[in-house]
């Protein structure tokens, strides 16, 4: 069972990121600067399923079909947020990315 406090923290971080993005788009005088901490963020399968709002089995299917680059140490699998975002953008624009 997942830690409910971890889930709450992840959701609050997502809300904070969304608010920061909205604020930066409203204030056109300040450019959007990527957060270096966010660039290094890693997701487990559970965390990525929450981020993408899909089931864990869908994430496993995406992993098996190599839709996203992933890293594995033993049985632990993780995804880098910036790479997932790039893959989603490429999919949305119809581009092909080789891993």
Task: Inform me whether the pLDDT recorded for 12 exceeds 90.
Answer: no
Give the mean model confidence (pLDDT) for residues 71-91. Answer: 91
Structural domain boundaries in the chain: 1-33, 40-99
Residue 71: pLDDT band (50, 70, 90) is very high
Q: Give 50 or 94, the one with higher predicted confidence.
A: 50
Tell me the chain's radius of gyration from C-alpha atoms: 15
Walk across the sheet containing 76-80 and list its strands: 42-43, 76-80, 71-73
Query: Which residue did the predictor score with more confidence, 38 or 77?
Result: 77
Report the predicted TM-score, pTM, of the whole model to 2 decimal places.
0.56
pLDDT at 14 over 80: yes
pLDDT of residue 57: 95
Q: Which among 9, 35, 36, 7 has a CA at the least distance from the CA of 20?
A: 35
Residues 29-63: tens digit of each pLDDT: 555 555 555 556 899 999 999 999 999 999 999 99
The fold of the 40-99 domain, in CATH, is Multidrug-efflux Transporter Regulator; Chain: A; Domain 2 (1.10.1660)
Give long-range contacts, CB 8 A cutoff, 24+ apart: 45-51: 45/77, 46/2, 47/10, 48/79, 48/84, 50/7, 50/10, 50/11, 51/10, 51/14, 51/81, 51/84
């Amino acid at each position: 069972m997942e830690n409910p406090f971890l889930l709450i923290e992840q959701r609050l971080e997502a809300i904070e990121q969304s608010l920061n993005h909205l604020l930066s788009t409203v204030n056109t005088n300040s450019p959007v600067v990527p957060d270096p901490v966010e660039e290094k963020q890693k997701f487990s399968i559970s965390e990525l399923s929450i981020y993408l709002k899909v089931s864990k089995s869908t994430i496993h299917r995406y992993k098996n079909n190599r839709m996203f680059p992933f890293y594995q140490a033993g049985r632990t699998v993780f995804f880098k947020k910036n790479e997932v975002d790039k893959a989603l953008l490429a999919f949305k624009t119809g581009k092909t990315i080789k891993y």
